[in-house]
């Protein structure tokens, strides 16, 4: 994508990454990701964030189509994670006079990550920087996503550069702005990004939303995904709902199955949910990445988990997904459990222990031996219906 003017004097100069398979070396990127960087051009010029190191040349090319990169006066580092800071060594070589601005807690990271100690300055919370025709101010939002993270605000055009906050996975498919894009593609990518990357930090996200409400914002320009200019409140609302772990009034059924018995019950449970007039998504934990299960569970209020007993415990793929969900501290879920066993149960009991640890509301359990009978399946439908009725309420 070409450099794009977001507002007069403010230019997107980011890149699309469609080749990295795993974000942070672990989260699948089936639709890629964008690293958004922005030029703010007054009499002085600031670059807000950069890109992952392999894309530094592309960033430089885009900057050069707006201003001479040597003219950069400031490199604003909202966040030190290398998807945004990786091009700093190249930028420093090209623009040796540019001052690096970051929070105080970012300074030791700049030194250790890139050996940057000279021409580096810590900015204070609320500090302003007059670029001549453009005015920046700096607003730390710690732990969205690392402790040193801040957002930067441009006051004349009312643009918030929010860094990871309000970002999403998904490369920019030819559209930079929310009013040009297919939101049916981006919304699930925002949910997946939130659950995988930011989900651990729900309280900091809510604190950040509250803090940034004090600014008059017309455009939200995050460091990943779409720029929100038509309805910036939309993505803030979505982040707020995800951070409060409200969940849609819908149900996710997550299961594993060796010989189809537990799968038959998963289908019965899902039919029970549908009979109650509630949307449902069924996920085979052995056939999707745990990060996908996490995102699906984060999205919906109801969660019904099925596992056969395997080696006296929870089916490994189901256990792996639930451990990730527990590690990310997903709360506030209405839950049902089911599972089959051959000669001695165990999985459902162990799942119940996990539900108890997580403080989820357990509405019922169905455990059965071998292939499910018609009675077993009827109980599964009732379980689905009970969870559905609860999430509706």
Task: Report the relative pairing of strands 150-154 and 159-163 from DSSP bridges.
Answer: antiparallel
Q: Minimum Å distance from CB 222 to ligand FEO?
A: 9
> Are the CB atoms for 219 and 157 separated by under 8 Å?
yes
Q: Is 224 in the site for ligand FEO (CB under 6 A)?
A: yes
Q: Which C-beta is closer to ligand FEO: that of 77 or that of 276?
A: 77
The nearer residue to ligand FEO, 86 or 346, going by C-beta atoms, is 86
Least Cβ distance, residue 2 to ligand FEO (angstroms): 22
Q: How far is the CB of 168 from ligand FEO (least distance, A)?
A: 11
Q: How far is the CB of 33 from ligand FEO (least distance, A)?
A: 8
Look-up: residue for tokens 């957002």?
Answer: 151
With 0-12 / 13-18 / 19 or more C-beta atoms within 10 angstroms meaning exposed / middle / buried, residue 343 is exposed
Kindly tell me which of 50 and 262 has the beta carbon lying closer to ligand FEO.
50
Please name which of 147, 148, 178, 144 lies closest in space to residue 164, comparing C-alpha atoms.
Answer: 144
Residues 6+ apart with CB under 8 A from 287: none
Nearer to ligand FEO, 79 or 263 (CB): 79
- Using CB under 6 A as the binding rule, the residues of this chain from 254 to 293 that contact ligand FEO are none
- Nearest distance, CB of residue 323 and ligand FEO, angstroms: 22
CA separation for the pair 20, 139 (Å, rounded): 30
- Please work out the total of residues on this chain that contact ligand FEO, with binding judged by CB under 6 A: 8
Cα separation, 174 vs 64, whole angstroms: 21
CB of 145 to ligand FEO, least distance (A): 4
In the complex, the smallest distance separating the C-beta of residue 24 from ligand FEO, rounded to whole angstroms, is: 8
Closer residue to ligand FEO, CB minimum distance, 134 or 224: 224
What three-state secondary structure class fits 109?
helix
Binding to ligand FEO by residue 148, rule CB under 6 A?
no
**Where do the H-state alpha helices sit in 65-198?**
82-85, 88-94, 107-114, 183-193
Helix, strand or coil, per DSSP, at residue 154: strand
Please report how close the Cβ of residue 276 comes to ligand FEO at its closest, in angstroms: 39
Q: Which residue has the closest beta carbon to ligand FEO?
A: 81
Minimum CB separation of residue 353 from ligand FEO in Å reads 33
If you search the block for the tokens 């792996």, which residue do you land on? 320
Q: Which is nearer to ligand FEO, 153 or 166 (CB)?
A: 166
Site for ligand FEO in 58-97 (CB under 6 A): 79, 81, 83-84
> Considering beta carbons, is residue 19 or 216 the nearer one to ligand FEO?
19
Q: Which CB sits closer to ligand FEO, 224 or 300? A: 224
Q: Considering beta carbons, is residue 224 or 390 the nearer one to ligand FEO? A: 224
What's the CA gap between 130 and 356, in Å, rounded?
54
Within the chain, where are the H helices? 56-64, 82-85, 88-94, 107-114, 183-193, 202-212, 232-243, 261-275, 290-299, 316-327, 347-358, 374-392
Is residue 45 within 8 A of residue 71, CB to CB? The reply is yes
Kind of pairing, strands 45-48 and 74-76?
parallel
Position among 16, 152, 196, 223 found at the interface with ligand FEO (CB under 6 A): 223
What mask, x for binding ligand FEO by CB under 6 A, covers residues 178 to 217? ----------------------------------------
Contact 90, 65 (CB under 8 A): no
Nearby residues of 61 by Cβ (< 8 Å), 6 or more positions away = none
Nearer to ligand FEO, 109 or 268 (CB): 109
164 is a contact residue toward ligand FEO (CB under 6 A): yes
Return residues touching ligand FEO (CB under 6 A). 79, 81, 83-84, 145, 164, 223-224
């Amino acid at each position: 994508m070409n450099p794009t003017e977001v507002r007069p004097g403010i230019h997107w100069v980011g890149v699309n990454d469609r080749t990295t398979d795993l974000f942070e070396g672990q989260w699948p990127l089936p639709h890629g990701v964008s690293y958004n960087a922005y030029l703010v051009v007054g009499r002085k010029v600031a670059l807000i964030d950069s890109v992952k190191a392999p894309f530094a040349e592309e960033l430089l090319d885009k900057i050069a189509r707006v201003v001479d990169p040597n003219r950069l006066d400031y490199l604003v580092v909202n966040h030190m994670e290398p998807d945004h800071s990786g091009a700093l060594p190249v930028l420093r070589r090209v623009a040796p006079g540019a001052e690096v601005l970051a929070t105080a807690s970012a300074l030791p990271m700049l030194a250790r990550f890139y050996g940057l100690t000279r021409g580096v300055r810590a900015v204070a919370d609320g500090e302003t920087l007059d670029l001549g025709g453009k005015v920046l101010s700096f607003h730390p939002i710690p732990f969205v996503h690392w402790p040193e993270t801040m957002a930067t605000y441009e006051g004349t055009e009312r643009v918030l550069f929010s860094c990871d906050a309000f970002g999403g996975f998904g490369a920019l498919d030819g559209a930079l702005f929310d009013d040009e894009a297919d939101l049916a593609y981006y919304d699930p990518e925002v949910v997946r990004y939130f659950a995988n990357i930011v989900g651990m930090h729900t309280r900091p996200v809510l604190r950040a939303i509250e803090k940034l409400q004090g600014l008059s914002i017309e455009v939200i320009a995050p460091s990943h995904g779409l720029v929100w200019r038509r309805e910036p409140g939309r993505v803030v609302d979505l982040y707020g709902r995800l951070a409060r772990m409200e969940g849609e009034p819908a149900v996710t059924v997550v299961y594993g199955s060796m010989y189809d018995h537990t799968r038959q019950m998963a289908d019965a449970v899902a039919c029970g949910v549908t009979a109650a007039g509630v949307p449902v998504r069924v996920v085979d934990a052995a056939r999707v990445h745990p990060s996908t299960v996490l995102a699906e569970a984060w999205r919906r209020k109801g969660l019904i988990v099925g596992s056969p007993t395997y080696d006296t415990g929870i089916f490994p793929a189901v256990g792996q997904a639930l451990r990730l969900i527990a590690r990310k501290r997903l709360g506030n879920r209405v839950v049902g459990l089911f599972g089959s066993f051959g000669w001695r149960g165990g999985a459902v009991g162990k799942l119940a222990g996990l539900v108890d640890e997580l403080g989820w509301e357990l509405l019922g359990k169905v455990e059965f031996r071998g292939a499910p009978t018609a009675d077993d399946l009827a109980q599964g439908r009732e379980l689905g219906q009970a969870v559905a009725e609860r999430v509706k309420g």
